């Protein structure tokens, strides 16, 4: 006997297409990892890859492949029962160290690490928030608004989110969809906390253009340049007075420290999937607190499974800006878990053991396109 893994592939339609500078999607391809103990208790983790390598190099089918072929086999010594008897769920640090033997693939690693962490926490009756050091019981929520087909359409969408109570608006931008959109939104909502995300769509030579964003009193400009262009981000910060925030460039504690020390970023978006899991995410948070760098929790259109865990992370003290932790209905008519509902611009941090939520069996069955069992 030992821990076994199930990889659930799901397809969930989005309530409206979500367009960014690297492409558009109208259905979310979701992979949930389930780690099942000998006693039949399940731990869950969500793999936040997109279907295609547009946001980063990882993509969903590749992630499933690397989990099956390399990551889960690498964990075998930790999850297979010894001759003497049963196996305990491996401690979170040992899972992290074992997965570190494989390069890259942080989103696939994070899904597996979280599933085992959820199981480990449930066995200890401890919530993820308690484990990570959460200090709040609810978190302030922002919303990420995709590129629209017209300013009129954008205004309707933003208006809906403002009415729902979101505490911050983030506009996706790209060359050709930026200053006019910002002007329209800023004129209509002069006070709303506003920021933009370019997902790497600009180049160093766009510094003067990006400086035009300064007049809109933005909280930050997220990832204007390619992931590997730290120098470019530093150069941009010397021309633009709005703070630069890195997302795709921050892949580990060390890369976060390098970007901070190098002057490429003054705010960091933390996404557990991008950095290989919640332990690394917490370490980056701790580093940023020590360096007085504000952080906020990013999002990857998670279902309730990934969202629950993100909200626990966002409740740590260094998360001082509203996250892309919107309610379930921002993306999904029906979530795979009980929906997260926005109340007064906030979501409640789950308090049940582990990540605090479970997929609803019927919803999982309905959304599922394939389930693969991987036995150690």
Q: Write out the catalytic residue numbers.
A: 172, 271
Show the binding pattern over residues 187-216: x = contacts Mg ion (CB under 5 A), - = does not: ----------x-------------------
Least separation in angstroms between residue 198's CB and ligand SMG is 9
Indicate whether 302 belongs to the interface with Mg ion (CB under 5 A). no
144 binds, among Mg ion, ligand SMG, none (CB under 5 to 8 A by kind): ligand SMG
Closer Cβ to Mg ion, 32 or 201, answer by number: 201
Distances (CA, A) of 367 to 59, 76, 355, 372: 19, 29, 21, 15
What minimum distance in Å lies between the beta carbon of 148 and ligand SMG? 14
Integer Cα distance of 271 and 48 in angstroms: 10
Quick one: tokens of 35? Answer: 């780690």
Q: Shortest approach of Mg ion to residue 210 CB, angstroms?
A: 15
**Binding region for ligand SMG (CB under 6 A):** 18, 20, 50, 55, 144, 197, 199, 247, 298-302, 324, 326
Report if residue 29 touches Mg ion, rule: CB under 5 A: no
Rank residues 115 and 268 by Cβ distance to Mg ion and give the closer one: 268
C-beta of residue 97 within 8 angstroms of C-beta of residue 71: no
Angstrom distances, CA of residue 159 to CA of 139, 263, 351: 21, 36, 32
Helix (H, G, I), strand (E, B) or coil at 267: strand
**DSSP assignments along 10-55, one per residue:** EEEEEEEEEEETTEEEEEEEEEEEEEE-TTS-EEEEEE---SSTTS
Find the shortest distance in angstroms from Cβ 236 to Mg ion. 16
Q: Is 247 in the site for Mg ion (CB under 5 A)?
A: yes
165 or 376: CB nearest ligand SMG: 165
Q: Terminus-to-terminus CA distance in the chain, angstroms?
A: 9
Q: How far apart are CA 337 and CA 358, in angstroms?
A: 6
Instruction: Give the nearer residue to ligand SMG in terms of CB position, either 277 or 299.
Output: 299
Residues at the contact surface with Mg ion, assessed by CB under 5 A: 197, 222, 247
């Amino acid at each position: 006997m030992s821990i076994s893994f199930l990889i659930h592939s799901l397809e969930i339609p989005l309530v409206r297409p979500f367009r960014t500078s690297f492409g558009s999607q109208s259905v979310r391809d979701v992979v949930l990892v389930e780690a099942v103990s000998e006693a039949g208790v399940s731990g869950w983790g969500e793999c936040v890859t997109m279907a295609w390598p547009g946001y980063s190099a990882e993509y969903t089918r590749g992630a499933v492949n690397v989990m099956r072929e390399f990551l889960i086999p690498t964990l075998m010594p930790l999850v297979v029962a010894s001759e003497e008897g049963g196996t305990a769920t491996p401690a979170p640090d040992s899972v992290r160290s074992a997965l570190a033997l494989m390069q890259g693939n942080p989103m696939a690693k994070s899904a597996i690490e979280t599933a085992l962490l959820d199981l480990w926490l449930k066995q200890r009756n401890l919530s993820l928030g308690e484990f990570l050091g959460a200090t709040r019981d609810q978190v302030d929520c922002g919303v990420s608004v995709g590129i629209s087909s017209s300013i009129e359409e954008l205004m309707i969408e933003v208006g809906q989110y403002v009415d729902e109570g979101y505490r911050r608006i983030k506009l996706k931008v790209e060359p050709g969809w930026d200053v006019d959109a910002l002007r329209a939104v800023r004129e209509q909502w002069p006070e709303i906390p506003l920021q933009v995300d370019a997902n790497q769509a600009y180049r160093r030579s766009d510094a003067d253009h990006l400086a035009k964003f300064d007049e809109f009193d933005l909280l930050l400009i997220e990832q204007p340049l390619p992931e590997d262009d730290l120098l470019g981000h530093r150069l941009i910060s010397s021309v633009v007075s709005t703070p630069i925030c890195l997302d795709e460039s921050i892949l580990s504690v060390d890369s976060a420290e390098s970007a901070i020390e190098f002057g490429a970023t003054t705010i960091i978006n933390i996404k557990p999937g991008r950095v290989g899991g919640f332990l690394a995410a917490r370490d980056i948070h701790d580093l940023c607190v020590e360096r007085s760098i504000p952080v906020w929790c990013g999002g990857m259109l998670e279902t309730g499974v990934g969202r629950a865990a993100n909200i626990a992370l966002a409740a740590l003290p260094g998360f001082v800006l509203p996250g892309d932790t919107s309610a379930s209905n921002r993306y999904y008519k029906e979530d795979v878990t009980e929906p997260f509902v926005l109340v007064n611009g906030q979501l409640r941090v789950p308090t049940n053991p582990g990540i605090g939520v479970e997929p609803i069996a019927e919803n999982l069955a309905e959304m599922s396109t394939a389930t693969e069992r991987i036995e150690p």
